[in-house]
Chains A and B, each alone.
Chain A
Amino acid sequence: MSTVSQATGQHIPPPPARRDTVYMGRLDFLSVVVRLTGVELYKFRRRTMSKVMGTLCVLAILAVFGAFAIGSISTLASPAANFLPASCSPSANPGAIPCPDQTSLPEAAAAAKQAELNNISQPLRLPDSLGVAAQTARDLDLLLVIILAGTIIGGEYSVGTIRLMLTRGPTRTQFFLSKIGAISVCLALGFLGMTLLGIVLGALFNLVTGIAINFSFLTAAWLMHAALYLLASMLGLLVYAMLALCLATLGRATAAGVAGALVWWVLENALGGVFALLGTLIKGQWGNVLQAIPDYFIARNVGALVQNQSHFILLDQPSTLSDLHALLVIAGYLVVFIGLTWWVIQRRDVAN
């Protein structure tokens, strides 16, 4: 391999052979990024933080589905008579719902109990269990990916290891892309793993209820919307991860990324309500403008994307925002966060 010097225009002789114990890997752009992403994942796996995060995820999903299971078991264990309308009790108000005929009372009680059990155990079964698991994963993973993204770059600056990594050969762009790659892999594994665990746990707990899962919802269209629902959820997490990455890079510290992203998230939720209220109070053109501002917040647009898919798979109400609007706004945020982070990493001097 011969290189042409951009300084002198001369051909640079190839470097002398390294010792036979040194095995170099492929050095093309993509191979380096993939190898560095592997390095980032290895580092993350070796941290106590990854074990704590993993345990938290399992416990959270266990707690949520455990709560639904306990509700179902409690319903199952209750006497059927408890599920009859109040009018069937001896002290019933005569004007209340009429009690069924005394001869069919046991059947009516059993039917009422079954209906209640069916209702309360619904989140344990697909498709509802998908919604519950994904919602739990979204809520918890939001916090975890913010911590992860803040740490993955802030840690390099605060410990000083960025110096070490940047003097080993990878370009700053490769270094940056490997960080995004590692965050994306952790985010996807965490979110999908948690969701899958939730669905499996729900199905297992559902065995106690004895109610069979009705798979009639399972069509190709449903599967496609379910995939989009999961992708939209992960995209939402990625935006906040990129926000944390950006702020940690700007602040050169984990705390800057984590605290900054959390404050942003809290402010968005708080200000959304404030703007809506002000818009209602002020009315007119300015009122409309104020009411429209939250439509450009991250949370609102991520929520819209998720809700619009949830409409197909869980039959929820669709969002008032279109998918295109939400995607454009999210893309805008991603461009700003990723672009700014890249630019800062690229331009910044790595001094003390």
Chain B
Amino acid sequence: MDDIAPAYDDRTVISTSRLTKVFGNLVAVNDLHLQVMRGDVFGFLGPNGSGKTTTIRMLLGLIRPTAGRAILFGMDTAYQLPDILQRVGAIVETPVFYPYLSGLDNLRVIAAASGMMSGKANDRRLAEVLEIVELRSYEKLAYRKYSLGMKQRLGIAAALLTDPELVLLDEPTNGLDPAGMIEIRRLIQRLSALGKTIFLSSHILYEVQQVCNRVAILQKGNLMKQGKVSELLRSSEQIEVRLEREDETHYALHLLQQAREQGADWIAGARIEPGPRGWPLLIIGAPGSRSSEINAMLARNGLFAAEIHPREGSLEALFLEVTTAPAPDGTRVGMEALADAPAFQATFQTMPDNNRGGAL
């Protein structure tokens, strides 16, 4: 496999090219091409074992890629890891600290390990981050006595300690109660408003949909989708049409297929599925804004809808569609999936020609 230069410009914070990790016979991450831009709140989704944590570990230099490269802030993790880590704060899986130290003392240790000055110089910063995660009143309590939620919050405090540009959060709401989850969500939004780039790996799709502007979905180590949340959701929008008679529904399906063949490419597809009380429903893969157009087209052909509803796209539906359906032949994964993403295309346009050839 030829090594290729990953897509990179000044706005790119994370860029991976053909990033691959193989453990024995298991391909944990396969040919991954990710691109995270400055200021993004990037959702990294995938079922358990899809390779999310392995990817994060590779980005942080904890494990070596079997192939490919990971570039952060324009620097290769293989050569300039210490410089990269100075600009990153991270939680990898459930954060683990020294059990015999208090929360505050653990942060002191991490501050010194992160290159911050020892002694009292950083006491204000320690107090600040403990305040942010609301652990100030528990700072003297031994870490082993912390609840799971408190441990998670201490992990976030540790990640924020050096005021990093990029915050990598691997399942940050694990073990948190609903109030804690909301608080973390607000914290992510606050950090984003401060111009931080957030890389958020999560199972909680609602959470991701709420806070992220871009996402990537991983399945068995392969990148299945990557792009702006709004665009991905738009692509999964549907219109639900109910007609009075079954034969009318079938005729409408035929008309839609015909229209698609004749160039209405905004119709992604159409199918009939049983609705409530046994009525067949016509489900059309199209943006909700096209509802009136569809209604007009049906009316022109003598079909009058009893009901017509736009169905909003949801990340959950998209995620399930991507991760539960068996991958058909020709599924676009890896580089191809990235190439579909408009953000990548925009970046790719700005790359010099010699890189462009290699990148694709």
For A5, give its contact among B76, B81, B101 (CB under 8 Å): B76
Contact between chains at A350 and B113 (CB < 8 Å): no
Asked whether B360 is an interface residue with its Cβ less than 8 Å from the other chain, the reply is no
For B158, give its contact among A5, A23, A164 (CB under 8 Å): A164
B129 to chain A, nearest CB (A): 9
Q: Which residues of A contact B112 (CB under 8 A)?
A: 25, 35-36, 38-39, 42
Report if A7-B60 is in contact (Cβ < 8 Å); known contacts: A15-B86, A168-B85: no
B47 to chain A, nearest CB (A): 18
Q: Which of B8, B96, B97 has the most CB of A within 10 A?
A: B96
B residues bordering A, Cβ < 8 Å? 5-6, 8, 10, 23, 54, 57, 60-64, 69, 71, 73-76, 79-83, 85-88, 90, 92-93, 95-101, 105, 108-110, 112-118, 121-122, 124-125, 128, 158, 161-163, 165, 195
Contact between chains at A47 and B100 (CB < 8 Å): yes
Bound complex: CA A298 to CA B161 (Å): 45
Report if A13-B10 is in contact (Cβ < 8 Å); known contacts: A3-B83, A22-B162, A169-B82: yes
27 chain-A/chain-B pairs, Cβ below 8 angstroms: A3-B83, A6-B79, A8-B74, A10-B74, A15-B73, A21-B122, A22-B116, A22-B122, A22-B125, A22-B161, A23-B116, A35-B112, A35-B115, A42-B112, A46-B105, A164-B158, A166-B60, A166-B61, A167-B62, A167-B88, A168-B110, A168-B113, A169-B86, A169-B114, A170-B82, A349-B62, A349-B64
Bound complex: CA A169 to CA B114 (Å): 6
Interface residues of A in 94-145 (CB under 8 A from B): none
Contact with B along A7-46 (1 / 0, CB 8 A): 1101011011011011111010000100110110011001
Q: Which of A10, A22, A171 has the most CB of B within 10 A?
A: A22
Contact between chains at B114 and A168 (CB < 8 Å): yes
B137 to chain A, nearest CB (A): 20
B330 to chain A, nearest CB (A): 32
Asked whether A165 is an interface residue with its Cβ less than 8 Å from the other chain, the reply is yes
Contact between chains at A27 and B86 (CB < 8 Å): yes
A231 to chain B, nearest CB (A): 30
Tell me the nearest residue of chain B to A160, going by C-beta. Answer: B96
Interface residues of A in 221-274 (CB under 8 A from B): none
Asked whether A52 is an interface residue with its Cβ less than 8 Å from the other chain, the reply is no
A residues bordering B, Cβ < 8 Å? 3, 5-8, 10, 12-13, 15-16, 18-19, 21-25, 27, 32, 35-36, 38-39, 42-43, 46-48, 159-161, 163-171, 349-351
Contact between chains at B75 and A5 (CB < 8 Å): yes
B299 to chain A, nearest CB (A): 57
A87 to chain B, nearest CB (A): 66
Contact between chains at B115 and A169 (CB < 8 Å): yes
Contact between chains at A5 and B163 (CB < 8 Å): no
Tell me the nearest residue of chain B to A3, going by C-beta. Answer: B83
The 3 A-B residue pairs whose C-beta atoms are closest, nearest first, are: A7-B76, A349-B63, A160-B96
Report if A351-B100 is in contact (Cβ < 8 Å); known contacts: A22-B122, A169-B86, A169-B113: no
Contact between chains at A8 and B71 (CB < 8 Å): yes
Report if A7-B86 is in contact (Cβ < 8 Å); known contacts: A25-B118, A164-B96, A351-B57: no
Contact between chains at B63 and A42 (CB < 8 Å): no
Report if A5-B109 is in contact (Cβ < 8 Å); known contacts: A25-B117, A159-B98: no
Q: Which residues of B contact A13 (CB under 8 A)?
A: 10
Tell me the nearest residue of chain B to A11, going by C-beta. Answer: B74
Q: Which residues of A contact B6 (CB under 8 A)?
A: 7
Bound complex: CA A3 to CA B82 (Å): 12
Bound complex: CA A10 to CA B101 (Å): 43
For B81, give its contact among A32, A171, A349, A351 (CB under 8 Å): A171
Q: Which residues of A contact B85 (CB under 8 A)?
A: 167-169
A263 to chain B, nearest CB (A): 28
Tell me the nearest residue of chain B to A48, going by C-beta. Answer: B100
9 further A-B pairs in the complex, CB-CB below 8 A; given A7-B74, A164-B97: A7-B8, A12-B73, A13-B10, A24-B115, A39-B112, A163-B93, A167-B62, A169-B82, A171-B82
Contact between chains at A16 and B165 (CB < 8 Å): yes
Bound complex: CA A282 to CA B163 (Å): 71
Q: Which residues of B contact A12 (CB under 8 A)?
A: 73-75
Report if A3-B75 is in contact (Cβ < 8 Å); known contacts: A18-B162, A22-B122: yes
Bound complex: CA A47 to CA B63 (Å): 30
Contact between chains at B98 and A161 (CB < 8 Å): yes
Report if A32-B115 is in contact (Cβ < 8 Å); known contacts: A171-B82, A349-B64: yes
Q: Which residues of A contact B98 (CB under 8 A)?
A: 43, 159, 161
For A164, give its contact among B23, B76, B99, B110 (CB under 8 Å): B110
Q: Which of A13, A25, A48, A159 has the most CB of B within 10 A?
A: A25
Contact between chains at A39 and B74 (CB < 8 Å): no
Q: Which residues of A contact B80 (CB under 8 A)?
A: 3, 5-7
Q: Which residues of A contact B73 (CB under 8 A)?
A: 12, 15
Contact between chains at A19 and B125 (CB < 8 Å): yes
Report if A25-B116 is in contact (Cβ < 8 Å); known contacts: A5-B75, A46-B100: yes
A351 to chain B, nearest CB (A): 6
For B115, give its contact among A16, A25, A159 (CB under 8 Å): A25
Q: Which residues of A contact B122 (CB under 8 A)?
A: 21-23
Contact between chains at B124 and A21 (CB < 8 Å): yes
A147 to chain B, nearest CB (A): 15
Q: Which residues of B contact A38 (CB under 8 A)?
A: 112, 118
Q: Which of A23, A42, A165 has the most CB of B within 10 A?
A: A23
Q: Which residues of B contact A5 (CB under 8 A)?
A: 71, 74-76, 80
Q: Which residues of B contact A47 (CB under 8 A)?
A: 100
Q: Which residues of A contact B161 (CB under 8 A)?
A: 22
